[in-house]
């Protein structure tokens, strides 16, 4: 996929060696350009990706110093030297020198070395390509990605990870959790913010594992869904782990919000009919009291003052019920109809007393508002021991009693 144009510059008086160089076929993804001169040309050396310099007839120290000074930092420098020069140069172990070929070499030997070097050079470019692919992949995703050794030191991370911990890649490389996440070593030892055991579990199981982990990012706690897998060494042993983490904090908030929206009434914030029927299954072994509530003359509020005031009356009703009922479930099941469920054993007198309290509290609140003085509440109540009545039947009974009271109020 990549393309590498390689400029060869050869310094030699032996034209036959330069001819051999020109005859070497480029490997896939490569094209070649050839430059040559009898002695060092600094301008040509500055253009080259690879310099092959025959230094046998030169002052070794001065020539090599000149070559290093004028070549590009990334250029490969291959010296063609006699045995004595090679021995002197290898003692210095200069990293600016890529290789030293001891001369003289036959044309076939020279071709063999060129092809071997060319293969190695291509491997370095293939490695660059792979590294480039990896970096582009891990840095284009919003998830946190990291590679760690067996001791937990971070070897490589992506940009999202750096952003999360507010540190550069250079600061992170080789460091452990307590530094990277700004956690006190004592807190780190407790494992409160990072699940340390998960790393050991992955290495022990030698397979990908999924974890829910909580980390402290800045001043806030974040929930992460992490996927961790072992990294294997050449001999098959585990040498570390790779991890990918998705910040699901906001997703969890959205999930909770969706659940809340599905189970509550948008206007009043009370539970809705759907939640009541789901919740009642959990309470089937409890005694239950049902209070059905309907507002008398509610339609007149909408007709006279508009739906905005009607909504305000419904919100006031919900607020009054919440303040009155401390241990029950309150729901708006439609329009101006409300439901209150209480669990536990009650006497007939207790049920009636609660029913009257609900009505009196609501009527008193309506009377305080000049727009709501025509409204009153009708409340019907029904009680049953566990297993004696179906919930629907109990609601029907309370509803009938509520309508009887509504008729009396009219």
Strand partners, 30: 4
Residue 215 has pLDDT above 80, yes or no: no
What integer is the mean pLDDT of 254-272?
A: 87
Query: Residue 20's pLDDT is what?
Result: 96
Beta strands 76-81 and 50-54 are parallel
Among the listed residues 213, 221, 217, the one whose alpha carbon sits nearest the alpha carbon of residue 243 = 213
* Per-residue confidence band for 193, with pLDDT thresholds at 50, 70 and 90: very low
- Average pLDDT score over the chain: 90
The single-letter DSSP state of residue 341 is: E
Establish whether the linkage from the previous residue to 365 is cis, with ω within 30° of 0: no
Is pLDDT at 234 greater than 70 in this prediction? yes
Residue with tokens 């030892």: 189
- As a whole number of angstroms, the distance between CA 8 and CA 81 comes to 18
Q: How far is 327 from 329, CA to CA, in rounded Å?
A: 7
| Sequence-ordered alpha helix ranges (H) in 95-196 | 107-139, 159-165, 169-172, 177-180, 185-190
What is the average per-residue pLDDT within 157-170? 92
Are residues 175 and 185 in contact, defined by beta-carbon separation less than 8 angstroms?
no
d(CA 385, CA 387): 6
Confidence band for 185, pLDDT divided at 50, 70 and 90? low
d(CA 302, CA 309): 7
Nearest to 383 by CA among 333, 342, 338, 330: 342
Average pLDDT over residues 249-258: 79
- Paired tokens of 107: 């044309």
> What confidence score (pLDDT) does residue 192 get?
42
Q: 247 Cβ partners below 8 Å, 6+ apart? A: 143, 144, 164, 222, 223, 224
The candidate with the shortest Cα–Cα distance to 314, out of 369, 240, 261, 357, is: 369
- What pLDDT, on the 0 to 100 scale, is given for residue 109? 96
Provide, rounded to the nearest whole percent, the portion of the chain with pLDDT above 70.
96
Q: Are 342 and 288 in contact (CB under 8 A)?
A: yes
The first and second tokens of residue 278, run together, are: 């789901």
- Would you say residue 272 has pLDDT above 70? yes
- Is the pLDDT at 351 greater than 80, yes or no? yes
Residue 69 has pLDDT above 90, yes or no: yes
Confidence of residue 380 (pLDDT cuts 50, 70, 90): very high
CB 405 within 8 A of CB 380: yes
Distance of alpha carbon 98 from alpha carbon 79, whole angstroms: 8
Quick: pLDDT tens for 73-112.
Answer: 999 999 999 999 999 888 777 889 999 999 999 999 999 9
* Residue 410: pLDDT over 80: no
Kindly state the DSSP code that residue 245 receives in the 8-state scheme.
E
Q: What is the dihedral angle through the alpha carbons of 267, 268, 269, 272, rounded to the nearest 10 degrees?
A: -90
User: How far apart are the C-alpha atoms of 252 and 261, rounded to whole Å?
Assistant: 14
The band of 253, judged by pLDDT with boundaries at 50, 70 and 90, is: confident
CA geometry: angle at 204 spanning 199 and 210, to 5°?
Answer: 50
Place 186 in a pLDDT band, splitting at 50, 70 and 90.
low
**pLDDT top residue among 206 and 218:** 206
Confidence of residue 187 (pLDDT cuts 50, 70, 90): low
pLDDT at 102: 95
CA 221 from centre of chain: 14
């Amino acid at each position: 996929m990549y393309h590498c144009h390689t400029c060869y510059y050869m310094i030699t008086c032996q034209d036959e060696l330069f001819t051999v160089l020109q005859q070497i076929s480029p490997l896939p993804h490569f094209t070649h350009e050839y430059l040559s001169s009898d002695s060092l040309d600094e301008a040509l050396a500055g253009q080259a990706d690879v310099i092959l310099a025959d230094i046998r007839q030169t002052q070794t120290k001065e020539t090599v110093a000149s070559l290093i000074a004028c070549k590009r930092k990334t250029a490969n420098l291959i010296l063609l030297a006699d045995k004595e020069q090679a021995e002197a140069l290898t003692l210095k172990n200069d990293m600016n020198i890529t290789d030293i070929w001891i001369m003289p070499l036959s044309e076939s030997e020279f071709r063999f070395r060129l092809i071997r070097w060319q293969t190695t050079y291509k491997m370095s470019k293939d490695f660059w390509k792979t590294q480039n692919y990896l970096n582009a992949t891990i840095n284009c995703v919003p998830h946190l990605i990291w590679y760690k050794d067996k001791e937990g030191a971070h070897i490589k991370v992506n940009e999202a990870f750096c952003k999360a911990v507010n540190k550069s890649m250079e600061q992170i490389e080789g460091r452990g959790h307590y530094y990277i996440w700004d956690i006190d070593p004592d807190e780190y030892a407790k494992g409160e913010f990072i699940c340390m055991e998960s790393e050991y579990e992955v290495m022990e199981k030698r397979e990908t594992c999924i974890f829910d982990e909580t980390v402290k990012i800045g001043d806030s706690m974040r929930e992460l869904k992490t996927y961790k897998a072992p990294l294997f060494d050449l001999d098959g042993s585990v040498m570390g782990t790779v991890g990918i983490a998705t910040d699901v904090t906001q997703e969890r908030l959205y999930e909770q919000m969706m659940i809340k929206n599905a189970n509550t009434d948008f206007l009043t914030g009370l539970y809705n009919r759907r939640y009541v029927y789901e919740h009642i299954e959990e309470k089937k072994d409890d005694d239950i009291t049902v209070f059905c509530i309907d507002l008398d003359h509610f339609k007149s509020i909408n007709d006279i003052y508009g739906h905005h005031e009607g909504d305000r009356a419904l919100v006031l009703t919900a607020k009054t019920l919440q303040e009155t009922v401390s241990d029950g479930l309150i729901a708006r099941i439609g329009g101006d109809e409300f439901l209150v469920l209480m669990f536990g054993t009650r006497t007939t007198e207790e049920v009636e007393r609660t029913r009257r309290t609900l009505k009196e509290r609501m009527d008193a609140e309506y009377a305080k508002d000049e727009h709501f003085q025509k409204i009153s509440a009708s409340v019907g109540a029904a009680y049953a021991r566990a297993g004696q009545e179906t919930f629907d039947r109990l609601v029907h009974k309370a509803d009938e009693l509520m309508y009887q009271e509504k008729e009396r109020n009219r």
